[in-house]
């Protein structure tokens, strides 16, 4: 049973979300602000955190940064104001994995919680499958059917990062820092160049059914979508 922490200063929202999560078999716990959330994290294992942005004592921005620093392997789902693209970008830059927009449907939040938990299980592996394509991080090989491909290291790392979290949006800044490192001083448009090359490699016209595609999320970044 996965433990989900709901961090929000509105007790009615906390109770509503906890009800829906309980009905889906999760174990929900509550915290009214960031300080309370961090104390609970020290006392028990939490599998995912849902955090509101606007809270007293310690707001969601500071909490998000602290959680990502202290618990880098814990999924973070943030709740943003309607239409605030800037909030979403800031949240991703601080380490959030996904978001829901107020007012939200509790069932949507439950669905996104399930997807995030599934993504993190995939991300902990050294190999991932994207349809008929296998990415092996130990050998840096890409196997597509009977074909074996060798990608340049940065292209492989970029594809592995996106493929480890299918559906998750990554900003250019996140990808630069995580793949090229925080000391990288080049143009962040290098991400666009590498994305273009990956698209050319894996969406060729002779492929009857591409296993995935890399989508541009305008104003935010990129995400990998596995074809059904």
Instruction: Give the model confidence (pLDDT) of 111-156 as tens digits.
Output: 999 888 887 776 666 788 888 888 988 788 898 878 888 899 999 9
Give the closest residue to 166 by CA, choosing from 217, 214, 111: 214
Distance CA 153, CA 159 (A): 10
Strands 133-136 and 141-144: antiparallel
Q: How many other CB atoms sit within 10 Å of the CB of residue 97? A: 24
Q: What is the pLDDT of residue 194?
A: 94
**Which architecture, in CATH terms, is 127-226?**
Orthogonal Bundle (1.10)
Instruction: Give the model confidence (pLDDT) of 67-103 as tens digits.
Output: 988 888 889 999 887 666 777 788 888 888 888 888 8
Least confident range of 9-18, 144-153, 162-171, 183-192: 183-192
Domain ranges of the chain: 3-123, 127-226
Is domain 3-123 classified as CATH 3.40.50.2300?
yes
């Amino acid at each position: 049973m996965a433990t989900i922490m709901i961090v929000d200063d509105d007790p009615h929202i906390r109770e509503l979300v906890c009800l829906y999560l309980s009905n889906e078999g999760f174990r929900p716990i509550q915290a009214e602000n960031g300080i309370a959330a961090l104390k609970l994290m020290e006392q028990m294992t939490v599998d995912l955190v849902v955090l509101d942005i606007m809270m007293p004592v310690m707001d969601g921005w500071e909490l998000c940064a602290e959680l990502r620093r202290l618990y880098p392997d814990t999924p973070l789902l943030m709740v943003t104001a309607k239409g605030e693209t800037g909030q979403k970008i800031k949240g991703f830059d601080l380490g959030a994995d996904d978001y829901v927009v107020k007012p939200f449907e509790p069932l949507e939040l439950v669905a996104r919680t399930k997807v995030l938990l599934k993504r993190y299980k995939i991300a902990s592996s050294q190999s991932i499958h994207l349809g008929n394509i296998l990415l092996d991080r130990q050998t840096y090989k890409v196997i597509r059917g009977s074909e074996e491909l060798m990608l340049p290291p940065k292209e492989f790392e970029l594809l592995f990062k996106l493929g480890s979290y299918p559906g998750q949006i990554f900003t250019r800044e996140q990808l630069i820092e995580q793949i090229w490192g925080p000391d990288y001083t080049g143009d962040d448009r290098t991400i666009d160049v590498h994305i273009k090359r990956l698209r050319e490699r894996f969406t060729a016209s002779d492929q009857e059914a591409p296993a995935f595609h890399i989508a541009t999320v305008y104003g935010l970044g990129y995400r990998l979508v596995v074809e059904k």
